[in-house]
Structure 1
Amino acid sequence: MEPKPLWILLTALVFFSGGWFGTEGCLEQERIALLQLKSNFFSDPFSLLDWVDVKGSDCCRWERVECNITSRRVIGLDLNFTRQGQGDVLYGYHNVDVPYGYLNVSLFLPFQELKSLTLSGNQIGDFVDNPVSLSAAFSKLEILGLRGDNFDGNIFSS
């Protein structure tokens, strides 16, 4: 093999692997924020199993997380039916054993590039009263899925 084709092959391998030592994965503050979301709100023991607090765990590879391939920032979260006991919502009735959830918007502040968020089927009743506005937390949001949640009409004024 001539040196020139070998150099092209090595360059391509480095480029597509993310550098000489590979990528570092998702941003640390976003990984920590995802773990806080999981522990503070999304409690179904059968959901988000790969969201683990292990050094070097790449949250861009976790289920239900989508990242920008260049910036490694979280751009999408699909959190359908991730609160414990929410399967009943699928059938159209509220499980009386599981209270409505109140979501803290400030937990989403680290996701500065978030474009898509699906929270459907988690029986969210409202957001926690917070000095952080919905527009500040979701400034880049293009898609918000809330089907099967229990917001009243006030969320749309926010």
Structure 2
Amino acid sequence: MMMMEWKWLRFIRMAVMLLVLEGRRWCTTDACLEHERIALLHLKPFFNYGNQLQSWVEVKGSDCCKWERVECNTTTRRLIQLSLNSTKWEFNVEYWYLNASMFLPFEELRSLYLSENAIAGCIENEGRAFNFPLVTSFIITLFSPLLICNY
């Protein structure tokens, strides 16, 4: 009788281990991180001229790694490249200042393309502007989690 109890106990322990392992697999996702998806949606109004960002939808759990102009790390599912260039293609567009802190949620962001958007400079959190020449194109490249505005 004692031997039978040990077999059941072993069986139950194995079943629990399998359930735990399967549960971990069910809880993981191949989608982008939710806070990065939300941060992209905060950027959308500034770069969605002509409704160019149609794939950027406000559906919880939507995989922003599959959105147009977005590239993610295939392992971490974090955003690594954002190509928002040429979204403001109209003539007579007023130059504006970009709030650089809007890119802070993207911890692995390495490349940020913003050319042809009539951006006059970057604004820090305090609101102080960094001016660079009013040109129709520039590229900001991130080599660290800190945003560096190059011109």
What is the identity, as a one-letter code, of the residue corresponding to 1:148?
Answer: T
Aligned to 1:10: none
Structure 2 unaligned segments of length 5 or more: list them: 1-24, 129-134, 140-148
Q: Is the 8 A contact 2:72 2:80 kept in 1?
A: yes
Aligned to 1:74: 79
Q: Is the 8 A contact 2:101 2:124 kept in 1?
A: no
Aligned to 2:64: 59
Aligned to 2:114: 119
Q: TM-score, normalised by structure 2?
A: 0.64
1:123 is displaced (CA, Å) by 1.1
Runs of 4+ more than 4 Å apart: 19-22
Q: TM-score, normalised by structure 1?
A: 0.62
What is the identity, as a one-letter code, of the residue corresponding to 2:123?
Answer: V
Aligned to 1:49: 54
Aligned: 1:35 with 2:41: yes
1:24 is displaced (CA, Å) by 4.3
Alpha-carbon RMSD across the aligned residues, in angstroms, is 2.7
1:43 is displaced (CA, Å) by 3.0
Aligned to 1:7: none
Q: Is the 8 A contact 1:121 1:149 kept in 2?
A: yes
Q: Look at both structures and tell me which one has the larger radius of gyration over its CA atoms.
A: 2
Q: Is the 8 A contact 1:106 1:132 kept in 2?
A: no
CA distance in 2, matches of 1:67, 1:33: 14
Identity %: 53
Q: Is the 8 A contact 1:101 1:124 kept in 2?
A: yes
Q: Is the 8 A contact 1:102 1:127 kept in 2?
A: yes
In the TM superposition, what whole-angstrom CA distance separates every residue of 1:24-81 from its partner, at most 9, and x where no partner exists? 4000110000000112x11313311100101221000001100001100000001111
What is the identity, as a one-letter code, of the residue corresponding to 1:123?
Answer: A
What is the identity, as a one-letter code, of the residue corresponding to 2:121?
Answer: D
In the TM superposition, what whole-angstrom CA distance separates every residue of 1:90-135 from its partner, at most 9, and x where no partner exists? xxxxx22x111211001000001001110011111111243499xx
CA distance in 2, matches of 1:64, 1:123: 18
